[in-house]
């Protein structure tokens, strides 16, 4: 059985964001395919190192956080392929299959005014103009031409879900430091 590549153990940076996972080996020289969580995975291309954590499902070939020093990352057809130090053959690349990829936030491109990373919106409290709490952002959905906030809330002891389009017509303010989004929306919509 091949030995796991000699990757250094590392602490996951406090600002790390999960950006993808390693798929199967690609070729015979240690390259591997990457499944990005984003349709615009710029951070995967600009980061010099990725932090890996074991696959959530399937065989686990390592148990802690490891740092992967990248040689090259490039687009290939409709996917991404990469090579890294210490991963020199197909067998070594196969041992990385399923590993979750994290990148320090400092490698992410700066957002324009009024643009936000979805990961920054998850967990924010949402209130309307009158100050009524509508819930907390649980996730975001790409629904064709717009993104939709999916809120979780509780009313009379029962869990509920509320959908609000994330467009300027309904979103008045996003206050990231204050962890709050103000919207033009009513609880009975």
Q: 19 near 36, Cβ under 8 Å?
A: yes
CATH 2.30.30.240 region(s) of the chain?
A: 118-183
Does the domain at residues 16-107 carry the CATH identifier 2.40.30.60? Answer: yes
Query: Which part of the chain has CATH 2.40.30.60?
Result: 16-107
- Residue 66 contacts residue 54 (beta carbons within 8 Å): no
Q: What are phi and psi of 31, to 5 degrees?
A: -75, 155
Please name the fold of domain 118-183.
Answer: SH3 type barrels. (2.30.30)
d(CA 31, CA 128): 49
Q: How many CB atoms lie within 10 A of CB 51?
A: 21
pLDDT of residue 114: 86
Tens-place pLDDT, residues 90-122: 999 999 999 999 999 888 888 888 888 888 899
Residues 136-163 have pLDDT tens digits of 999 998 887 889 999 999 999 999 999 9
């Amino acid at each position: 059985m091949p030995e796991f590549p000699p990757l250094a153990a590392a602490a996951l940076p406090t600002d790390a964001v999960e950006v993808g996972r390693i798929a199967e080996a690609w070729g015979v020289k240690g390259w591997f395919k990457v499944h990005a969580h984003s349709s615009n995975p710029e951070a995967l291309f600009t980061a010099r190192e990725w932090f890996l954590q074991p696959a959530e499902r399937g065989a686990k070939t390592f148990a802690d956080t490891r740092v992967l020093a990248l040689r090259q990352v490039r687009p290939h057809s409709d996917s991404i392929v990469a090579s890294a130090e210490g991963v020199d053959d197909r067998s070594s690349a196969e041992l990385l299959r399923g590993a979750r990829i994290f990148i320090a936030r400092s490698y992410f491109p700066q957002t324009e005014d009024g643009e936000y990373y979805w990961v920054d919106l998850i967990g924010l409290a949402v209130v309307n103009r009158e100050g009524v709490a509508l819930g907390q952002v649980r996730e975001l959905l790409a629904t064709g031409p717009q993104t939709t906030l999916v809120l979780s809330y509780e009313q009379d002891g029962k869990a509920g879900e509320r959908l609000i389009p994330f467009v300027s017509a309904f979103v008045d303010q996003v206050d990231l430091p204050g962890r709050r989004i103000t919207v033009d929306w009513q609880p009975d919509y």
